Amino acid sequence: MASPAAGGVVIVGSGLIGRSWAMLFASGGFKVKLYDIEQQQITNALENIRKEMKLLGQSGSLKGSLSVEQQLSLISGCGNLAEAVEGAMHIQECVPEDLELKKKIFAQLDRIVDDRVVLSSSSSCLLPSKLFTGLAHVKQCVVAHPVNPPYYVPLVELVPHPETAPATMDRTYALMRRIGQSPVRLLKEIDGFVLNRLQYAIISEAWRLVEEGIVSPNDLDLVMSDGLGMRYAFIGPLETMHLNAEGMVSYCGRYSDGMKRVLKTFGPVPEFSGATVEKVNQDMCMKVPDDPEHLAARRQWRDDCLMKLAKLKHQVQPQ
Ligand X SMILES: O=C(O)[C@@H](O)C(=O)[C@H](O)[C@@H](O)CO
Ligand Y SMILES: NC(=O)C1=CN([C@@H]2O[C@H](COP(=O)(O)OP(=O)(O)OC[C@H]3O[C@@H](n4cnc5c(N)ncnc54)[C@H](O)[C@@H]3O)[C@@H](O)[C@H]2O)C=CC1
Q: Which residues bind ligand Y (CB under 6 A)?
A: 12-18, 36-38, 41, 94-97, 101, 105, 122-124, 145-146, 148
- Closest approach of ligand X to the CB of residue 72, in Å: 25
Name the residue nearer to ligand X (CB basis): 155 or 241.
155
Site membership for ligand X, residue 204 (CB under 6 A): no
Site membership for ligand X, residue 225 (CB under 6 A): no
Name the residue nearer to ligand Y (CB basis): 120 or 123.
123
Which range of residues in 38-46, 193-201, 206-214, 216-224 is near ligand X by CB under 6 A? 193-201
Site membership for ligand X, residue 196 (CB under 6 A): yes
Phi and psi at 178, nearest 5°, equal -65, -30
- Closest approach of ligand X to the CB of residue 191, in Å: 12
**Is the Cα dihedral 191, 196, 202, 208 positive or negative?**
negative
Site membership for ligand X, residue 124 (CB under 6 A): yes
What is the C-alpha to C-alpha distance for residues 186 and 300, in angstroms, rounded to an integer? 31
* Closest among 214, 226, 230 to 276, alpha carbons compared: 214
* Closest among 200, 212, 199 to 273, alpha carbons compared: 212
- Closest approach of ligand Y to the CB of residue 250, in Å: 40
- Closest approach of ligand Y to the CB of residue 146, in Å: 5
Q: Are 183 and 172 in contact (CB under 8 A)?
A: yes
- Alpha helices by DSSP H, listed for 185-228, are 195-211, 217-223
Which range of residues in 21-29, 195-203, 209-217, 274-282 is near ligand X by CB under 6 A? 195-203
* Closest among 21, 133, 34 to 80, alpha carbons compared: 34
What is the C-alpha to C-alpha distance for residues 58 and 52, in angstroms, rounded to an integer? 10
Site membership for ligand X, residue 307 (CB under 6 A): no
Residues contributing to the site for ligand X (CB under 6 A): 124, 147-148, 195-196, 199
